Amino acid sequence: HKTELIDDHAKRCTVKILETKKEYGKRFFSVHMAVAPTKSIDRYEWFLEKATEIGIDRITPIICEHSERKEVKINRLEKVVISALKQSLKAYLPKLSETVKFNHFINQPFEGQKFIAYCEGEPPLLKKLYIPKTDVLILIGPEGDFSPDEVEQAIKKGFIPVSLGNSRLRTETAAIAACHAINLLND
């Protein structure tokens, strides 16, 4: 809302609504990231905070073969997301899904492009394969990356292996790099 301050007091104020913007901050694409929880939960919380500020629609913690952390406290993570939402003045709260095992997650339906960020070999860059204005789901693995079996399973389910660049990134950094790239490609 665009408002005009009518009356101000120490504990409350009165405003007049001048203009209402419907669908404020609404985007024409969605970003869903499935990211393995980091060993240090602080790093995962940092990812959630920054991804919320940049722009993300859904986050799913996934448990992989190389995952060092097998569970997370969703209530705590939701507080981090809400705080980042308020700080960045976003209008839509990203959905934080329950933790799920990798092999179960990749079998869930998804309409849009599906990518798996993978360090081995020489997969093409995410920015070269992503089609702007389309929904996207990106898998980011744990420290130590996805196992070859997980990559094979994901490819069979329609995920396309991609690279995020020349550097080998920590889980939370890779997740932020992917989230930011998608948002930049849609600007």
Q: Topology of domain 24-185, per CATH?
A: Alpha/beta knot (3.40.1280)
**Band of residue 161 on the pLDDT scale cut at 50, 70, 90:** very high
Tell me the mean pLDDT in the region 170-179: 96
Tell me the mean pLDDT in the region 128-142: 97
Residues ≥6 apart with Cβ < 8 Å to 100: 60, 61, 62, 63
Dump pLDDT digits (tens) for 143-155: 989 999 999 999 9
Output the pLDDT for position 172.
96
pLDDT of 106 higher than 90: yes
Dump pLDDT digits (tens) for 22-74: 766 678 899 999 999 999 999 999 999 999 999 999 999 999 999 999 889 99
| Matching residue, tokens 């602080």 | 42
14 bridge partner residues? 7
Tell me the mean pLDDT in the region 116-120: 88
Tell me the mean pLDDT in the region 106-110: 95
What is the domain partition of the chain in residue ranges? Answer: 24-185
Separation between Cα atoms, residue 105 and residue 12, nearest integer Å: 47
pTM higher than 0.85, yes or no? yes
**Band of residue 1 on the pLDDT scale cut at 50, 70, 90:** low
Output the pLDDT for position 177.
97
Output the pLDDT for position 24.
66
**Torsion angle in degrees (nearest 10) through CA of 136, 137, 143, 146:** -120
Residues ≥6 apart with Cβ < 8 Å to 166: none
**Band of residue 119 on the pLDDT scale cut at 50, 70, 90:** confident
